[in-house]
Each structure stands twice: as structure tokens, then as C-alpha cells.
Amino acid sequence: MQSSLDFFVGNVDGQLLNSIDDLLFEVKNYQVSDQRFTHLCECLLLQCLDIPVSVQPPPADAIKRTFDSAFAHLEDDVFSEEQKNCLRIIARCYNRNQLIENFYEAKREYLRLKQSRAKSKALEKEVRACYHRVMGESADRLAEAYFWMAEQLDEQMKRFSLAEGEKQTVAEAIITVCDQSFELCTPGAAQLEFYTSYTNQPYAGDLGLEEFGRILNMVVPNLDLPLDKLDESKEGGAIMDQYLQDHLGFTPLSHFTEKGERDKPPKVVELYHTLMQRMTDELTITDTGDIQKSDLIRILDHAYQQNDVNMLLMFEIDHLTDQEDYVKSQKFNKICVWLMMLDEANENWYDESYSGRQDELFGYLTHVYMRSGNNINAVEHKVRKTKDIYDRMVPALLEVGYAMESDSKNMFMLLAESLIVAAQDPFEEGEM
């Protein structure tokens, strides 16, 4: 780090030292916004390069740091009524030592669940790799056949004079086979345009954050989203949000609705600055003199912009409470809030549900793996059976689709109704 700074720092004189003192004084005595902190750092960097620059005076609404913590009082709008009731119960039930003991117990459970989640995701990754290796292109070919069937229905219905109810039945059949196609393979733009012409609403698919990030990396130059961190957590969404702001110039709504830190909840402001001061190692100066922030800082910035006190509190628990002195230095109310946040996190861990059909599929295959005594061959066997079914379905669909061209109206409507009925969950036990 010293060698990197040597490139930027010229002669160290009294004026430069005074600028450093002024910066430290302001940061120590005032709540400094992220924009203001960036300005101060940029000015200091230019002064180190012997480039004359004028530092803007502190904003008129700058909040002076006070000795009393914003967490001295918990009856405000950042917590729901349910959370406030929970905090009252915690405060009545424990003295300080009992509170700290219960906090550490809840944190141990939280870390255990977190480790279990990591193992589950690693297992799911192995199952996904097995699925794609065995399935090959069979699922893609079946997806193409389903969508072709939808196009055939669209084309052949023009041969008949259909009543309004019959048109609705055909439209439902078209939407149904499109859904079956899109469950197997991510749709293209032309396919979505065809689909929405029948649904009259955007396609609500199950494109995961990681897959969405992969698409963005392909179309946005130099975006370089960290795909391994883009899970379905709030933190994953925060990282993507900040990357898009930095690279595409998106402006958060808070920049328009808030005049400054006086408009923000005091607990958000206090937490953000406390955490930023302890995360200075996550800010680096690049060879070009830019200030580069880590993904941890991106999570903090997102939570600050969104006034998400819960996210800031969980960040504090994750990154600072390993230090025993830090925990002991906190006020009783703050530790009450920590315990409440951990209890919520631990309870919500068991309420997780599948976000889409692909997640449901891989969840089922993971269950197959575990039920078989951790045997990946059982997963391979199950996928191979499904692949064989898919391979037989493709020519069958093509045969039905071509025959549709000579079907009578009654046969055409019977086919449309049959396609709707036949659309059942392929991932049920024993039917995958």
C-alpha cells in the first residue's frame, strides 16, 4: 500500500497536513454523507499531487455527532409494531449479562444455519452440473418443440370461425405450451413478444439473479458483475443495484426524495457511519487515482440509500460482533435489537420457498441425492429417465403439430383442450 501511495503523495508540507487535520476533524465530529466523504477524499488526493483545489464547506444541514446513540430510544418508525413488542419483551426478560449470553447463543445458531445453507448451495451446484451433463440438449429440443406447437396453434386457428369461448380456450392452450417451453429453456425476445401478445402482460419467469447478471455482463461493457455473489439474498440484490448505479448512472430514488441526512432515520445514519469507519480497508486507491469500493461497501451504500436499518444491523452483526470488546461497548438497547434481528433471521431461515420451477426441479433432485445416501448416481439415473421421456416427446409433438394442419375444427379444439389438461407438474415424486 505504501508503494502505491508514494506515486500520489508529493511534498508533505504544512498546508497538506492542515487539510488532513480538517478532514479528520469533520469526519470525527459530523455525520458525513457518502457524497461528502468522496469529495473530501478526492480533494485530498489532488492536494497530494500538488494540484490546487478548493474544498467545499460542510453542508448547512450537517449533523453534529452526539454522545447519545440513536438507539437510546427504540420507539420510532424504523421498526414495525411487531418488532417493537418483541423489543419490549426482550428488555423485560433479561438483564445485561443474560442478554449478551442469549445474543451469543442466537448468533451460534445463525452461523450454524449459515454454514448449512452454504453446504446446501454447494450440493445444489453439484446436482445442477450432473443434470446439465446428462440432459445435454434434450430439454432445449423439447422447449423448441413446445414453442413450435404454440405457433402451430396460432396459425391453424385462423382456418376456423371460432366463438369467443373457443378463442379463449386456444389462447389458454398457447399460453400453456409456451409456459412449458419457457420452464425448460430461457425464452428469446421474439418468443416473449409472441407470448405477451396472448397474455397482455410481461412474462414473469423465474430468471435468477445470477442468470440475469450473466446476461448483463454480456451486454454492458466492463460491468464485471461478481456472479458468485448474486444469490437471491438481499445482499446479492444490493451488490447488483450498486454496480448498475456505478456503471449505468442510475440514480436512487432517495436522491430526489431526501434533502440530506436530516431526512434520514437517525439510526440509519449512525449505523452507516459507524460501519464505514470500521470498513476503511474496503476502500482502495487504484493506479489511476480512482477510489474503488468493495462489494461490502456496496451493500452498505445500498442499505443507506434504501434506509434499510435491518440490513445495516445484520451487517454489523456479521462483521463486527466477533470482537468481544465491541459487543461489551454497546448499549443495552442495541444488544436487544441484535437479539431480535437474529431471532427473526433464524426463524425466516426455515420459511424459504422455491422461487421458480428450475429451483423446484433442483430442490427435488437434491432430495433424491440425499434420500439415496448421498449417491450422485441416483440423480444421474433420475435425470436419464427424464431425458429419455423428453427425447420421445419431441417427435410425438412434431407429429401432432403437423397433423393439426388437416384437423377438423372439432379435432382442433379437442387437441387444444388436451394440451391444457396434459400440462401437469413434471417434478412430482416418481414423475420427473
Exposure letters 107-118 (e unless 16+ CB within 10 A, then b): beebeeeeeeee
pLDDT tens column, 329-359: 999 999 999 999 999 999 988 666 555 567 7
Q: CB under 8 Å to 96, separation ≥6 — which residues?
A: 332, 335
Point out the least confidently predicted range of 143-147, 172-176, 259-263, 427-431.
Answer: 427-431
Helix or strand run (H / E) with residue 214: helix 209-219
CB of 186 within 8 A of CB of 207? Answer: yes
Using an 8 Å Cβ cutoff, are 188 and 211 in contact? Answer: no
Q: What is the pLDDT of residues 402-429, one digit of tens each?
A: 999 888 999 999 999 999 998 865 444 4
Q: DSSP assignment of 290-354, as one string?
A: -EEE-HHHHHHHHHHHTT-HHHHHHHHHHHHTTSHHHHHTS-HHHHHHHHHHHHHHHHHHTT---
Handedness of CA 20, 23, 26, 27 (dihedral sign): negative
When pLDDT is averaged across residues 380-396 and rounded to a whole number, the result is 95
User: pLDDT tens-digit profile of 199-254?
Assistant: 988 776 666 677 666 767 676 777 777 776 777 677 777 777 777 777 766 665 55
> Does any domain span residue 127?
no
- Specify the amino acid at residue 147: F
Q: Is the pLDDT of residue 258 over 60?
A: no
User: 337 in a domain, yes or no?
Assistant: no
149 occurs within a structural domain: yes
Q: Residue 112's pLDDT is what? A: 95
Q: What is the pLDDT of residues 13-48, one digit of tens each?
A: 777 788 888 888 888 777 777 778 888 888 888 888
The answer as to whether 342 is a domain residue is: no
pLDDT surpasses 70 at 267:
yes
Is residue 112 a part of any domain in this protein? no
> What pLDDT is attached to residue 188?
81
Residue 403 is part of which domain span? 137-206+379-422
Q: Structurally, how many domains does the chain consist of?
A: 1
Task: Please indicate, yes or no, if residue 354 is contained in any of the structural domains.
Answer: no
Q: Does 61 fall in a domain?
A: no
Provide the pLDDT for residue 428.
44
Asked whether residue 152 is assigned to any structural domain, the reply reads yes
More confident site: 67 or 245: 245
Tell me the pLDDT of the chain averaged across its residues: 83
What three-state secondary structure class fits 14?
A: helix
